[in-house]
Structure 1
Amino acid sequence: MNKKTVLYCIFLLCAPLLLVAQKPLSALETYLQLQGMENVSRQDSTIKCDLKYATTDNFTKTILYDSLFNTIYLHPLAAKKLLEAQRYLKKLHPELNLLVYDGVRPLSVQKKMYTVVQNTKYAAYVANPSRTGLHNYGMAVDLTICDQNGKPLDMGTPFDFFGRAAGTNKEAELLAAGLLTSRQVKNRRLLRKVMTSAGFLTISGEWWHFNAVSLGEARRSYKVVK
C-alpha cells in the first residue's frame, strides 16, 4: 500500500469524527458573525466562559439568550483587547484565567431583559433599549478572574450585585466599613490592572464591567447589533 493510499484511508476513518466535532452554529452565532462580531473563545480557549444570561443563573431568573449559546462574541476591537488582557494575566499569574459572564448583547436581548424586569425591584437597574449601551455594540464585557479549576476569585460581591459594595470608586471606605476584605480589594485591583493595561475603561458602579471604547465613540463610529 503506497503513501497516498494510506493517507486516504486515514482521511476516510477520521472524516466522520471531524463532522461530529464541528457542531453547526446556532442561528444567533450565525447572525453575530454576519454582524462582524468575533468568536473570542475560538481564538483563545483559555479564556473561560459562563454566559449568565444564557441560563437562569442571573438576576432575572430567565434565559435571555439561546439556551445553547455559551461562546464569547465581541466586536473585533474589544476582542483584541480581551486577548491582550488574558495574555497579561497569564504572564503575571499563569494559573489564573479571565472568566466572561457577558459579551455582545444584541438589542433584542436587551429588550427582553427590559420587559422581564418591569414591575420588579430590578426595573431601575436595566437600561431602556431605546438608549443603546456598549454591550449592544459588542464593545463591553462583564467578567472576573478564576483559578485553574474555574472557580471565580472572591471579589466581595457576586456578578450583577445591586448595592454599593459592587462599586469601585470607594473601595477604601468599603474596606474600612468591613464590607470588603483586603483580599477582595486585591483581587479587584488585579482584574482592573490586566483590563486597563489592554486599553479597557472601567466604570464606578460595577467591578465586573469594562468598556473597550466610550459610548460616544461607539455611537459615532460603530453599528448596533440588533
Structure 2
Amino acid sequence: MFIVFRAVVLVTLTLLGSCQLSDPKQASGQIGFVVLIPGSTVQTEVRYFSSENFVGEVIDGYQAPVIYLTREAYAALREVLFEAETLGFGVKVFDAYRPQQAVDHFVRWAEDLSDIRMKSQYYPEVEKQHLFRDGYIASRSGHSRGSTLDLTLFDLETGEELDMGTAWDFFDLSSWSDSEAVSVEQQSNRALLKALMTRHGFRPLREEWWHFTLENEPYPETYFNFPVR
C-alpha cells in the first residue's frame, strides 16, 4: 500500500534580504511541493487549522486542513510508510510545511502573557514568559523549509495511536525523545518511531519525540511563507 499524492501549484519564492521573505505572488524561482493525501496507512490531523492547539485558535497561514511537504521529504516518508506497514503500523502526520506567517503568529502569541487559555493542556509546567528562553518558541522554524514533519505511529488494526507518553506539541521535558519520565513501553514506542525515520533519511530533534527533518533537505536556507490551502 502506498500513499497517493497530487502536485500543488508550483510555488516560487525568493529571499529579498537576510531577514525578509517574499510573497508567493512575487516569486522568481520554482519549487515543487506535494499534498499528503490520507489513506489506509497515513492519517493527517492538522490542528493548526483548528482551535485545538497551544494557541487556541486557527493559526495564520493555515487556510485548509492539508499537509504540504517537499517532494524529497515525501519520497523519504513513503519509504517509512512501506516499512511501518510491514510492522503493522501507519503514520499520522500533524504538521509538515509551516508558513513563516504561522511562526510569526506563534511569536505574537508568546509575547502576550495574558493569553494562557491552553496552558493546562499544552504547557502546564512551563511559565509562558519562559517559552522563548526554553526554546519552545522561536522566530524561525525548520518546518518553514518544507522538509520537517511532526508525526506519530498508529496501529493499523485498531487505528489507535501508539502511546508516546505525551501528546504532540506538549511543552515539557517529558517530551524529549530520550526522556525517562515516561514508561518503558512509551520509550520503546518513541524508539520505534525514531528508528523508522532515521533509517530513511530523517534527523530527529531531541527535544520533541515527534519532530524529524530530512537530512538532505533541498532548501536548507530558505524559509517559505506561502499559505497552506
Q: Work out which of the residue numbers 183, 186, 189 in structure 1 matches 2:185.
A: 183
Query: Which consecutive unaligned segments of at least 5 residues does structure 2 have?
Result: 1-6, 13-29, 114-127
Specify the code of the residue in structure 1 equivalent to 2:100: L
Equivalent residue for 1:157?
166
Deviations 1:1-40 (A, max 9, x none): xxxxxxxxxxxxxxxxxxxxxxxx9xxx657697421112
Structure with the larger strand share:
2
Which one has a bigger Cα radius of gyration? 1
Superposition pairs of residues 21-36 of structure 1, within 5 angstroms? 30=9, 35-36=31-32
Equivalent residue for 1:54?
49
Q: CA RMSD in A?
A: 2.7
Specify the code of the residue in structure 1 equivalent to 2:109: V
Equivalent residue for 1:116?
109
Superposition pairs of residues 1-226 of structure 1, within 5 angstroms? 30=9, 35-41=31-37, 46-65=41-60, 69-93=64-88, 96-120=89-113, 121=128, 123-124=131-132, 125-128=136-139, 132-148=140-156, 149-169=158-178, 171=179, 174=180, 179-213=181-215, 218-219=220-221, 223-226=222-225
SS across alignment from 2:208: coil
CA distance 1:32–1:46, change in 2 (3 Å):
farther
Deviations 1:125-144 (A, max 9, x none): 2111xxx3320011100011
CA distance 1:215–1:198, change in 2 (3 Å):
closer
TM value normalised by structure 1: 0.72
* Alignment coverage as a number of residue pairs: 183
Equivalent residue for 2:15?
none
User: Quick check: 2:93–2:149 contact (8 Å CA) kept in 1?
Assistant: yes
Which has the higher relative contact order, 1 or 2, with Cα contacts under 8 A spaced 6 or more apart? Answer: 2
The whole-number CA distance in structure 1 between the counterparts of 2:76 and 2:102 is 24
Deviations 1:128-173 (A, max 9, x none): 1xxx33200111000111123432211011111111111124x3xx
The whole-number CA distance in structure 1 between the counterparts of 2:217 and 2:10 is 23
User: Quick check: 1:156–1:184 contact (8 Å CA) kept in 2?
Assistant: yes
Moved over 4 A (4+): 29-35, 65-68, 214-217
The whole-number CA distance in structure 2 between the counterparts of 1:32 and 1:85 is 26
1:110: how far off? 1.3
The whole-number CA distance in structure 2 between the counterparts of 1:150 and 1:45 is 10
Equivalent residue for 2:121?
none
CA distance 1:114–1:137, change in 2 (3 Å):
same
TM value normalised by structure 2: 0.71
User: Quick check: 1:134–1:215 contact (8 Å CA) kept in 2?
Assistant: no
SS across alignment from 1:207: strand
1:196: how far off? 0.8
1:46: how far off? 2.7
Query: Which consecutive unaligned segments of at least 5 residues does structure 1 have?
Result: 1-24
